[in-house]
Amino acid sequence: MEKLKMHSPDLTAQNVDRIAALFPGCVTEAKGPDGTLRRMIDFDLLRQELSDSIVDGPQERYHLDWPGKRQALITANAPIAKTLRPVRPESVDFDTTRNLFIEGDNLEALKLLQETYLGKVKMIYIDPPYNTGKDFIYKDNFASSQKEQEEKAGERDAQGGQLVSNPETRGRYHSDWMSMMYSRLSVAKRLLMDEGIILVSIDDYEQAALRKLLDEVFGERNFVAQLTWEKGRKNDAKFFSVGHEYMLVFGKNVTKLRERNESWREEKPGARDIWDEFTRLRAIHGDDFKTIETSLTQWYSDLPKGHPAKKWARYKRVDKYGPWRDRDISWPGGDGPRYDVIHPVTKQPCAVPERGWIYASPDEMQRQIKLGLVEFREDHTEPPFRKAHIRPAPGEAEDQLDDQDSETDEEDETEDAEFATQVRGSYFYKQSQVSVKYLRKLMEGKVFTNPKDHDELARLIEYVTPNDRSGIIMDFFAGSASTAEAVLRANATYGSNHRFIMVQLPESLEDAERNTTGTAKKTVQAAIKLMKKLDRPLVLSEVSKERIRRAGAAVLSSGVSDDWNRDVGFRVLKIDSSNMADVYYTPDATTQADLLLRVDNIKQGRTAEDLLFQVLLDWGVDLTLPITRETLEGKTVFTVAGTALIACFDNGVDEALVKTLATRKPLRVVFKDTGFKDDATKINVKQIFKSLSPDTDVKAI
C-alpha cells in the first residue's frame, strides 16, 4: 500500500524535476555530500543550452546580494520532518471555526502549510521585527561561520536560534535580517493566489533594503504602492520628527489583478451613516420613497455641524437603490453621439445635450432607462439626467468609473470628486495612542509594544479585497494579533467572511523581561502579570491568543453585519517534531534489534487526532474543515468534511470495517500501516476499495 511521505515538500527536488522536463539531457546522477547517488543538474550542459542568456564571470550586472543569501534560499527550499499538533483546550470553537492560530517558528509553519494553501491566500500582512539593533529571534542559522563562537558565548541555543540582540556593531547586522526575511518571503509568495496581495510594514532602518528584497522576490512590475502611516509627532527629536512608518504593497501578479478589472475604492467619511439611515427608514416606510425623502432631508438638517455626512446632503432623492443625486448625462469634453431619446410622457424626442449623450449607443441608453438609472424631466424640452447613487446600483458602477477617466471637463471632475467612494491615498494618519488605549482596556494593561491599529488594518483588508468576500488573510509575525482582530472587525463591519491564519513564535516573556529596559520592560511585566492571573504559559503566543479571544467577544457585543457568519473562533495548532518515529524516515539506518523494539512506527504519546492533522498536511487538505469522530465496527473513525477524507488509526482493522468505509465512497482513506488485523486484510484493502469505491485514494502511514 502506498505510504504518505509525512514531511514538507522538497522544493529543490521539485525544481530539478522542472529542469528535467525542459532539458532532460541536463539531469544526471552523481554522489551527494553524504556519498549517496541522487539526481543532480549538469550545469555545464545547462549553460550550453542557455549559452545566449547567461551572465558569466565578473561581468557587471544589476542584482541584490549579501552574505548568507544563498544559504537563506537553500533553507527556504529544504524539507522538514515536522507536523502541526491540534490543541483543543486552547482553541475557540474548534469544531466549527475556519480560522487558525499556529504556534511555532514562522518559517517552519510556512513550509508545513505550503501544500495545503498553495495559491489560496488572498492577502498577507506582516509587521516583522524591525532591525533597530534590538532583539529579533530566528531559528535559521544563516551565520554558519560564526555558529560555534556564538554558542560558546551563549548567544545561540543548540537549535541555532539567536538569543540576543542584533547590534549595529555586528558585522552581519543587515545581512542576518535580510536572510531572515528572504527565506520567509520566498515561501510566503507560494501561498498567495495569483490575485493575492502582500503588505509589509517597515521603518526607515530597512525600508530601502526591504523594497529591493520585495522587488527580487515578487518582481518590480508587481510593486503596487508604498504607503506612509503617520502616527504622531515626536517633539523630542533632534532634527526631524520621524513619527511615521511605511507599508510596502506588492501583488503576486498585478497583471492578473488588471485582467480581473479589480478596482480598489473605499467609502468616503459619512457615506455609511447615510446608508444606515436609509436602511432604517426603509424598514419603517417600505417603498414609500417620498416619505423616506422627507425624513432623510430632516435627518441631514438635524446632523451636528462638522458631521462628515452633512456634506452629502445632495443625496436626498431616494429610489429602490438608495439615496441619489442628479448627474450630467452629456459626453465628457464634447463631440458625443446624438440620437433620439423619447420622453415617456410627451412621446417626443428629448433635447440633446450640447456635448452629445454620454452613452455611445441608443441600446445602452435604453438599458440604463430600463434599470431606472435615468430620470426624465417634466417634458422633452430639457435633457434627462443620470442618477448617481451613494452606493452604485447594478449596472451603474461601470459608468461611474468610465467618467473618472475624463480629465477634460472641470464639471465632471468636481462631480466625480463628490461621489461617495474614493481611491485611497498613499498617506494616512492615525495616532498610535488610539490602539494603545484600546488594548490597555481590552487586555487589562499595556501588554503590547507599538501595536498596529486594527481599525486601519480592517479598512485596508476591505479595500484590497473588493472581489473576494471570503478570502484567507495571513500574518506570520502575529505579535499582538492586530491582524486577527482586523479580520473580525472587517467581517463584522462590511459583511465579509474572511478567514485568518496567524503564526507566532512562543517567545519567552521571562527572557524578554531580562533583556529589555524602560517602557519595553514594563510592557513585558504587564503581560507576565496577566498570564499568571490566567494561569497560562509565560510566552508571547499565549498573550496573542488571549487578545483574539477577548477581541472576538468584543466584536460580537457590538452591532455586526447580517452577512457575517460570526466566526470568532480559531483552531490552535502547535509545531512539533513528526508523529512518525525516526525509523519511518531512515529505515536504512535501523538495525534488526531496533525493529524488534519498534513494531509501531509512531512516536509514543501521539494521539489519533495528531496523526489526522499530519495526514491533512501531507495530503494538502484544508486544516479548518469540519471533523467528526465516530465508532464503527468497534474502531474510532475520523471523517473530514463528509467524504473528503476518512481515517482510522486503530489497531485490529478488519475487512468488515474496510467494507463499511468503502461503501461511503470517500475521496481519500488512510490507515495505520501496522493497524490491520492480519496480512490478509492488509493485502485485500486495495481490492475492496477497487470493487466498491474505485475512485478512492487509499494510503497508509
Residue in this structure with the C-alpha cell 509589509, named with its chain if needed: 200
**pLDDT value of residue 149:** 38
Q: Phi and psi (nearest 5°) for 325? A: -130, 165
Q: What is the chain's Cα-based Rg? A: 31
CA dist list (Å): 522 to 164, 217, 447, 477: 19, 38, 8, 22
Exposed, middle or buried: residue 3 (CB in 10 Å: 0-12, 13-18, 19+)? Answer: middle
Report the distance separating Cα 642 and Cα 628, nearest Å: 9
Cell numbers given for 594: 531496533
List the grid coordinates of 362.
441608443
Assigned C-alpha cell, 298? 430632516
Residue 76 CA to residue 677 CA, distance in Å, equals 42
C-beta atoms surrounding 543 within 10 Å: 27
Q: Identify the CA nearest to 698 among candidates 652, 654, 648.
A: 648
H/E stretch holding 502: strand 499-504
| CA atoms of 555 and 547, how far apart (whole Å) | 12
Structure pTM? 0.80
Alpha-carbon distance 107 to 190, whole Å? 13
Q: What are phi and psi of 168, to 5 degrees?
A: -65, -20
d(CA 464, CA 459): 9
Helix (H, G, I), strand (E, B) or coil at 389: strand
pLDDT for 586 equals 53
Buried b (16+ CB within 10 A) or exposed e, 4-22: bebbbbebeeeebeeeeee
Q: Which residues are within 8 A (CB) of 158 and not within 5 positions of it... i.e. 6 or more apart?
A: 151
Dihedral angle at the C-alpha atoms of 648, 652, 655, 656, nearest 10 degrees?
-80
- Which amino acid type is present at position 393? A
Backbone angles phi and psi of 126, in degrees to 5? -135, 145
Torsion of CA 322, 327, 333, 339, to 10 degrees: 100
Q: Which residues of the chain have pLDDT under 70?
A: 1, 5-7, 48-49, 51-61, 132-173, 234-237, 396-420, 582-599
What pLDDT is recorded for position 6?
A: 66
Amino acid at 562: D
User: What pLDDT shows up at residue 404?
Assistant: 36
The pLDDT value recorded for residue 133 is 55
The span from the CA of 54 to the CA of 56, in Å, is: 6
* Structure confidence at residue 56 (pLDDT): 67
Q: What does the alpha-carbon distance between residue 67 and residue 56 come to, in Å, rounded to a whole number?
A: 20
pLDDT tens track for 334-376 = 889 999 999 999 999 999 999 999 999 999 999 999 999 999 9
- DSSP-derived pairing of the beta strands 421-422 and 244-251: unpaired
Counting other chains too, the contacts that 615-618 makes at CB distance below 8 Å and 24 or more residues apart are 615/4, 615/645, 615/647, 615/670, 615/701, 616/116, 616/640, 616/645, 617/8, 617/83, 617/84, 617/112, 617/113, 617/115, 617/116, 618/4, 618/5, 618/6, 618/7, 618/115
pLDDT in tens, 54-94: 666 666 667 788 888 888 888 888 889 899 999 999 999 99
What values do phi and psi take at 179, rounded to 5? -65, -45
| Whole-Å CA distances, 661 to 158, 323, 674, 678 | 46, 57, 18, 18
Which residues, in sequence order, are CB contacts of 522 under 8 Å at separation 6+? 446
Alpha helices in 627-678 (DSSP H): 655-662
Domain boundaries, the chain: 266-422, 589-700
